[in-house]
Copies of this chain bind each other. A is one copy, B any other.
Amino acid sequence: MWLPSQLPGIQAQIKAAGYKGDVNALADVTKPPLSAVAKVGGATGAFVSKDGLVLTNHHVAFGVIQYNSSKERDLIKNGFVAENREAELPANPDYRVLVTTGFDRITDRILKAAAGKTGRAYYEAIDLAGKAEVKACEQDPGYRCSVVNMHYGSDFYLIKQLELKDIRLVYAPPEAIGNYGDEIDNFMWPRHSGDFTVLRAYVGKDGRPAPYSKDNVPYTPPAFLQISTTPIKDGDYAMLAGYPGTTYRNRTAGEFADQMRWQLPTRVELYGSILKDIAAAAPAGTEAAVKYAAQVQSAKNTLKRAQGELEGMTRSNADTVRKEDEQAMLVWLKKQPNAQAALRDMDAVEKLLADGRATRDADQLFMLMRSQTQVLRAAIQLQRFAIEKKKPDAERESGYQQRDESLIEGNLKQVQRRYDPAVEKAILADLLARYYGLPANQRIQEIDAVFGKDMAGARKTLDSLYATTRLGEESERLRLMKADSAEVAGSTDPVMVAAAKLMRAILAGEQKAKERDGELLRLRPAYMRTLAGFRQSQGRAMYPDANSTLRVSFGKVTGMHVKDGMEYTPVTTVAGITEKHTGKFPFDAPEALRKAIAKGDFGSTKDPVLKSQSVNFMTNLDTTGGNSGSPVMDADGKLIGLNFDSNWEAVSASWMYDPRYKRAIHVDLRYMRWLMAKVYPAPWLLKELNVPAE
């Protein structure tokens, strides 16, 4: 996950891996070829024609497809092929394509404001300085700006992005192709998903971003990528650019140990227990079970992901590897001139992290009481909104500003469709029973005040709260949302009263967290500078942990040694679609596809080695959430694939990149070309993409 600006420094490695292009040209995100990579719908995409065609994942453009679907014209089910440019369909109005036009290091300007400060004041000084930078930058109409920090407060960058607002749907395969295998195949290999969609960005006649208008004209991107017509094969150079969200690879050994020995195991334990609570209180087949389907699905995903991450970190011995690495770093540090100051900051970081861990059990249970309930969560949201709306809009907590109000209202409306008092009481009883088992120093005064000091009292309180609350009614919730702050604060609904009390603990916790976060922001850079120095002494470059900024990864097309006696091969074919096809979701390949596979007319997209049509391929490229839709390029910089997933063994890669197990899964663009040529034809589009029509 290299910053583009780092690439010239590791030029020798990139050349050795097989890249034939100019590495220096990759250093500037605002120049070709990286200026062809855009932030699309929160993930990644790439421009693929001079007239603003954008390629991204089906799942990244899903909202656009859904927005244009109706019972009569089900684009999700049937896919969509625009017959020509006029037939392209406007996206939902809030769908965005962002083109980076500025990426400047402003560390000095940001840190100057925080000089001499500590704790929360340090945090707020940086926050304010950042907001001022953003405000100044956004004076330029049509742009969206943001400040990001690298290496945990060591460096700050101002990012300026052109905000394209008129995006249109050009080509989407049916969902049964774009999401073939759905959750069953998610994270899995072998994979057979046509997870791509083609969009087009439009601008006003003046060339500036504008909302949809039929008079708008196609946007001319600063660069576009040419789709390759050369077959890929095992071992080929591959390179990917995109916007990976968050990684934790440069966290301390103590944080690694905490993740493996407490965070993940307790997450597995608690989500597993909550799922059992729901299953017992809302047995399959009951109306309550239907109401909790979404929460169950989400809890299952959290549980599965935590299990996978724990499994992967354990498989890679992540804690031991990180600890040995850190110990070697400390040995190195002690020989450096500035060791004492660095060690002092690093000790302070350890202490801050340890302080945070002292009440982690109670904090986690309290967090779940707020996130895994429906009515209690709504009450807390209402109390919070009442507090925030008294403030000027700019000073409100994010999530409670004027622009968030429709979202809050939407949340509040959904509650009774997802709520059953027996289930909510069962979840709270479970969490509270665990809470009462904690040592005295973890007790939270406000929880005790609301639910009593022991489980017997808590059960009675729960029964009485849920017997009398009116928050199960939509009208009452919406009334409280519109009511003035004083009325909300004084509400006598028992759950509102409870929420008001709990709010004090929440706000106190937030204060403490901001104080700690400020100190960490101030002190962590010592650790990061030490690590960077140590890496340099090892002759290794070091990238900042992912933070949704544009990164580049290079590697190769490769399968995986699954286990002794079993291998994944790196390219799948349409044969696997037929193998998996059951006729039932999620393995219900459309008839047109099955007929075309049976016919076997693969034309210029046929793989010369596999003698079949490729579908997906695997690389060892470094990715994480946010890399969806990232363009995958070959040694010539031509587009060969579109990233859309990782393998299950790589779930833990957000903490540790283990070259044995980290793989990325891509749509082979030959599959896209074949679908466009032979299955759901769009010859005009192939022509615009400058690839063969057969």
Contacts and interface: CB of A to CB of B under 8 A. Distances in A.
A579 B564 contact: yes
Nearest to A618: B565
A197 interface: no
Interface residues of A, number: 18
A57 interface: no
Interface string A552-567: 0000000000111111
Contacts of A563: 190, 576, 579
Interface string A536-575: 0000000000000000000000000011111111011101
A564 B572 CA distance: 6
A11 B189 CA distance: 43
A567 B564 contact: no
A151 interface: no
A192 interface: yes
A191 interface: yes
Contacts of A189: 565-566
B565 A566 contact: no
A560 to B, nearest CB: 10
A566 B564 contact: no
A564 B568 contact: no
Contacts of A565: 189-191, 568-569, 571-572, 576
Contact of A569 (B190, B567, B576): B567
A376 B381 CA distance: 70
A135 to B, nearest CB: 51
A190 B567 CA distance: 11
Contacts of A573: 564
A648 to B, nearest CB: 14
Contacts of A562: 566
Contacts of A192: 564
A571 B567 CA distance: 12
Contacts of A576: 563-565
A190 B575 contact: no
A581 to B, nearest CB: 12
A390 to B, nearest CB: 58
A328 B563 CA distance: 45
Contacts of A566: 189-190, 562, 566-569
A579 B571 CA distance: 26
Interface string A170-195: 00000000000000000001111000
A566 B568 CA distance: 5
Contacts of A190: 563-566
A573 B564 CA distance: 7
Contact of A575 (B564, B567, B575): B564
A565 B564 CA distance: 16
Contacts of A568: 565-567
Contacts of A575: 564
Contacts of A571: 565
Interface centre among A564, A571, A575, A576 (most CB of B within 10 A): A564
A565 B562 CA distance: 12
A436 to B, nearest CB: 32
Contacts of A567: 566-569
A606 to B, nearest CB: 15
A604 B575 CA distance: 42
A28 to B, nearest CB: 38
A572 B562 CA distance: 13
Nearest to A564: B576
Contacts of A579: 563-564
A610 to B, nearest CB: 9
A564 B189 CA distance: 10
A189 B192 CA distance: 24
A191 B565 CA distance: 8
A191 B569 CA distance: 20
Contacts of A564: 190, 192, 572-573, 575-576, 579
A243 to B, nearest CB: 28
A576 B562 CA distance: 11
Interface string A182-213: 00000001111000000000000000000000
Given A564-B579, A567-B568, 6 more contacts: A189-B566, A191-B565, A564-B572, A565-B569, A565-B576, A566-B568
21 contacts: A189-B565, A190-B563, A190-B565, A190-B566, A192-B564, A562-B566, A563-B579, A564-B572, A564-B573, A564-B575, A564-B579, A565-B568, A565-B569, A565-B576, A566-B566, A566-B567, A566-B568, A566-B569, A567-B567, A567-B568, A567-B569
Across chains A and B, which 10 residue pairs bring their CB atoms closest together, nearest first? A190-B565, A564-B576, A565-B572, A564-B575, A567-B567, A564-B572, A190-B564, A563-B579, A190-B566, A565-B569
